[in-house]
A and B are shown apart, each in its own frame.
Chain A
Amino acid sequence: MLLRYLFILLIIIPIKALALIEVDITRGNLNPLPVAVSPLSIDNKSKENFKKILKKEDLGSEISIIVENNLRQSGLFNPLNKNAFLQEPDVANLKPRFEDWNLIKAQALITGKVTLVDEKLRVEFRLWDILAGKEMMALAFTTVPSNWRRVGHIITDKVYERLTGEKGYFDTRIIYVSEEGPKTKRIKKLAIMDQDGFNNKYLTLGNELVLTPRFSPANQMVTYLSYFRNLPRVYLLDIETGMQEVVGDFPGMTFAPRFSPDGKKIIMSFAKDGNSDIYTMDLENRIVERITNHPSIDTSPSFSPNGKRITFNSDRSGYQQIYVMDSNGKNVKRISFGNGLYGTPVWSPRGDLIAFTKLHKGKFYIGVMRTDGTGERLLTENFYQEAPSWSPNGRVLIFYRETKTNSKGEGFSAKLWSIDLTGYNEKMVETETDASDPSWSSLLSN
């Protein structure tokens, strides 16, 4: 008996000379966190009023469904089945019985309350840590009733940030090109929708070809390419007023427009006599500046989030590759060196990565690389896909895919897809029609 004790000591002591045992936990699971989203409690009077105003039976439940879907779609959370919930929403919001929620394996709980106060929608919600048995977060805000969907998105953003450490991306919109018709004569319209597919709206009628829209960081302006009167030019569109205007007075095709991070400039390509170069135009004083001056094709420019550098696509080395330069056009450096063609570089809002499209041996890839070109990672492969756009927190990429057609030229479709930066959670983004050229807005609530 004593001998065994000695044996134990002999093993333990050489390993840990100190009295305190330290155990290294270097692995865990990457499963979605089980959370319970309780329907927001709502008093009968408010319920009736909201039913009248918004035509929704139970607004508290509707808002919680938005939160639930958002969390599930992110791939990081597993919202549990409401039928298993033991506590009523109004009781849970005051003080949840943690054992009840623990029983269904929830690790976090969201509760809240919705009321109509002075014709405004008032929401308060709480986030609870079930295992620690305490409240993690409590917030309240007021808005107009018609914004009720945004309430669900804002709650999700707050919860997401609190539980992952990352800013959310749910209170955002996506602008894209809606497509219909035969491949040889596609009808294209600008469309905008909430990030979860609701509130879809068309911004143009489909009379002229429209391509590659982009949001302004200020969020109510959009820039895109239009073939109005058969003259392909970059335009500005005010979403709220519907006003459109051409950008600058260029004697040739302008295309591939983006906004600068401060929203004050448009950067784009201008094609003349077979050469495409990158230009900027200041939206206030209308001054045009030439950024690249090279006989190659320079296009698809994208600013770094601090506005000091630009990444772009150029074939100056003979084939499409990715370059970075200072925002004044100096210090041009190539950063893509793998096998294949590279295009559509987009700088992450976090500033750390550049996403791109790659074509190699007949296959298209969406990938990311560091801003110096190292660490190239391909996230997904397909017959045809391109044009990734970042979510505002730099975690999710949205892009589009097209399908092959059969020998008769039938079966064509284009759809939006999204994928997490880690390569997980690849899924299609539902749209009413076929869709392409997606672009993600920044957070609306900023």
Chain B
Amino acid sequence: MNLSKILKNGFLIVLASLVLTACATKKTSTTGQMQGDVYTGTDSVEYLASGVPDRVFFATNETVLTTASRETLRKQAAWLRKNSDINVVLEGHADERGTREYNLALGERRANSAKDYLMTYGISSDRISVLSYGKERPVDSGSSPLAWSKNRRSVTVKAN
């Protein structure tokens, strides 16, 4: 093959691959909103105190705590130790992509995961109660994976 032919081929291939890349779908991980299936953003997050986020997020159908979740809960535990007269309710939620009754149980389990972790940091179980809302109280009413990831959460709420 002569050089001009190789160059011509090469040019066309580069053009073709550029066309392909232009059509690539937006990856959510690029904006840092989700990691895998778990919401990592700060959109719906509120704060119990400066630097203490009030919620942790979960993957679809999962109730295990991510590293980020544990970090958040450690901060919550520290704050609870400092404010020993405050009691909290952990509200567990699920996204809408499941049956209603199972989601109630899932929310309860998620809240309990958070509670157990707080307890390992010395917070007495008398101070923590658990409440599940299943899929009844979404924070984002959208029908997208991002919206759903924001709804899979356990929120720590001051009880008094």
Contacts and interface: CB of A to CB of B under 8 A. Distances in A.
A388 to B, nearest CB: 11
A359 B137 contact: no
B106 A212 contact: no
Given A184-B138, A319-B61, A276 B100 contact: no
Interface string A302-340: 000000000001010001100000000000000000000
Interface stretch (A44-52, A126-134, A389-397, A405-413): A405-413
Interface residues of B, number: 31
B29 interface: no
A255 B101 contact: yes
A344 interface: yes
B65 interface: no
A56 interface: no
B68 to A, nearest CB: 20
Q: Which of B63, B138, B143 has the most CB of A within 10 A?
A: B143
B132 A404 contact: no
A184 B93 CA distance: 12
A256 B132 CA distance: 13
Interface stretch (A6-14, A23-31, A102-110, A267-275): A267-275
B99 A405 contact: no
Nearest to A276: B105
Contacts of A398: none
Contacts of B133: 209
A66 interface: no
B141 to A, nearest CB: 4
B140 interface: yes
B104 interface: yes
B131 A232 contact: yes
Given A184-B138, A320-B102, A387-B99, A404 B143 contact: yes
Given A343-B98, A344-B99, A436-B100, 11 more contacts: A185-B137, A186-B136, A225-B104, A253-B108, A271-B108, A276-B109, A297-B102, A300-B99, A384-B97, A386-B100, A409-B141
Query: Which 5 A-B pairs rank lowest in CB-CB distance, beginning with the nearest?
Result: A274-B112, A343-B99, A409-B141, A183-B141, A276-B105
Interface of B: 61, 63, 96-102, 104-106, 108-109, 112-113, 116, 130-133, 136-144, 147
